[in-house]
Structure 1
Amino acid sequence: MMSSRIARPALAAVRRTAPRTAVRTYAAPAADNTKPPVALFGLDGTYANALYIAAAKQSALDPTAKALSSLGQVLKSDPKLQGILSAPMLSDSDKSQIIAELQKHTGGQDKSETVKNFLSALAENNRLALLEGVCEKFGTLMSASKGEIELLITTAQDLDNRMLKRLESAVSKSEYSQGKKLKVTTKVNPEILGGLIVEIGERTIDYSVASKISRMNKMLTDSV
């Protein structure tokens, strides 16, 4: 596991006291042709915008997107890693080791070292914990730049291909698709109990069993 290789310096670091590094801006103001295609919010959105601008200036948007996709998969498959990246006190040596390990999982796509420099900026600003969110939001920017709209389908169990295609077809014919090509992602979350949650663009359609139970409980509580 990746987390086991970088856990030792990170865990040691939480026992130390170190001053926080001053925040610096990652990217300079962008030219018009490097402007992110959609507005993003939150701190991870701010960093995703900065990375998009930097990658566009280097003509490295596609390889950067592939590198971040690889990193995003690693973060999702190794739950301990997020805790390591969130360690509050990391020395410069710790950060260098973590960045080196993360670089190994970019799939060899970071030829321009745009991602490496970005990881260094996150580490310097003590923001490595934002990496997973940045990976997701960078994907949003790339989809928007290609005229795609993201469709996330969350279910309690894996969907079979037939049902997934039926859902994709139904959404693509609805007003929610805005006539754009869908970029479909699926997610399994047993906590929703059953049904599904559809997120497309800024819209969320919640048909989960958990949501229905919550609404029923509220109705019963309000009627007492």
Structure 2
Amino acid sequence: MSELATLARPYAAAVFKRAKETKSTAKWSQSLAFMSAVLSDKEISVVVDNPKVTKERLSALMLDICQGQVDGESANFLKLLVQNNRLTLLPFIAEIFEAYKAEDEGYIDVEVITAYPFSKEEKQKFASKLEKTLSKKVHMNATVDKSLIGGVLVRAGDRVIDGSIKGQLQQLAKRL
């Protein structure tokens, strides 16, 4: 998986650079997300992986499916990926692009897993504390996992803050 991310990084960097030049990061974000969603479909992935399907037919199919969702530059990028046999990198390219976009706009996507659901007020307070801790604007996605017993587990990029009872018990078990 890290090999794929390594291969995807130059494409994502080039797309992000172009998006910044043309002031179209939001448009590129939507296009990449849509193309990634198309590739995640099982029927499409079978066609993409089929060696009997020519690059021209695959390009035509993808452009037909994405019609109206991608502009000229995005379509050219899609053709480039097909011609270079890099279409399977698209989800990684989209993910890395979003990380570049978040860094540029000064926010971070944070996944918060709690044992019990946040109230609206608690969610706002927690988000503001995370913003102070991480020194960035936070886009928080909160989910519930009863197996945590209590507390929260926070994932912000490569940083993990485990304040869950389950995590504390696991740490205690390791020490013993």
TM-score by length of 2: 0.69
Could you say which residue in structure 2 is the equivalent of 1:145? 104
Could you say which residue in structure 2 is the equivalent of 1:52? 16
The one-letter code matched in structure 2 to 1:193 is S
CA contact (8 A) 1:55 1:114 kept: no
User: Of 24, 39, 49, which aligns to 1:87?
Assistant: 49
Determine if the alignment matches structure 1 residue 200 to structure 2 residue 171: no
User: Of 56, 61, 68, which aligns to 2:32?
Assistant: 68
Of residues 53-62 and 118-127 in structure 1, the stretch that sits farther from structure 2 once superposed is 53-62
The one-letter code matched in structure 2 to 1:123 is V
Question: How far apart, in 2, do the equivalents of 1:83 and 1:143 lie?
Answer: 29
Q: Are the structure 2 counterparts of residues 121 and 209 from structure 1 closer, same or farther at C-alpha, using a change threshold of 3 Å?
A: farther
If each structure's helix is expressed as a fraction of its own residues, which one has the higher value? 2
The one-letter code matched in structure 2 to 1:203 is R
CA contact (8 A) 1:193 1:208 kept: no
Give the drift of 1:149.
2.9
Q: Are the structure 2 counterparts of residues 86 and 164 from structure 1 closer, same or farther at C-alpha, using a change threshold of 3 Å?
A: farther
Question: How far apart, in 2, do the equivalents of 1:204 and 1:75 lie?
Answer: 31
Determine if the alignment matches structure 1 residue 181 to structure 2 residue 140: no
Question: How far apart, in 2, do the equivalents of 1:86 and 1:211 lie?
Answer: 41
Give the drift of 1:212.
5.5
CA contact (8 A) 2:127 2:140 kept: no
Question: How far apart, in 2, do the equivalents of 1:122 and 1:162 lie?
Answer: 45
Q: Are the structure 2 counterparts of residues 68 and 162 from structure 1 closer, same or farther at C-alpha, using a change threshold of 3 Å?
A: farther
Identity %: 21
CA contact (8 A) 2:33 2:94 kept: yes
| Aligned positions of 1:91-106 closer than 5 A | 91-92=54-55, 93-104=57-68, 106=69
- Aligned residues between the structures: 168
Give the drift of 1:80.
2.8
Q: Are the structure 2 counterparts of residues 172 and 79 from structure 1 closer, same or farther at C-alpha, using a change threshold of 3 Å?
A: same
Question: How far apart, in 2, do the equivalents of 1:94 and 1:75 lie?
Answer: 13
The one-letter code matched in structure 2 to 1:150 is D
Give the drift of 1:100.
2.5
Give the drift of 1:57.
3.9
Give the drift of 1:101.
1.1
Give the unaligned 5+ runs of structure 1: 1-40
CA contact (8 A) 2:58 2:82 kept: no
| Aligned positions of 1:205-216 closer than 5 A | 205-207=161-163, 211=167, 215=171
Question: How far apart, in 2, do the equivalents of 1:216 and 1:48 lie?
Answer: 41
Give the drift of 1:48.
0.9
Give the unaligned 5+ runs of structure 2: none
SS of corresponding position for 1:150: strand
| Aligned positions of 1:126-165 closer than 5 A | 126-154=85-113, 161-165=120-124
SS of corresponding position for 1:126: coil
TM-score by length of 1: 0.57
Give the drift of 1:171.
0.5
Question: How far apart, in 2, do the equivalents of 1:48 and 1:165 lie?
Answer: 32
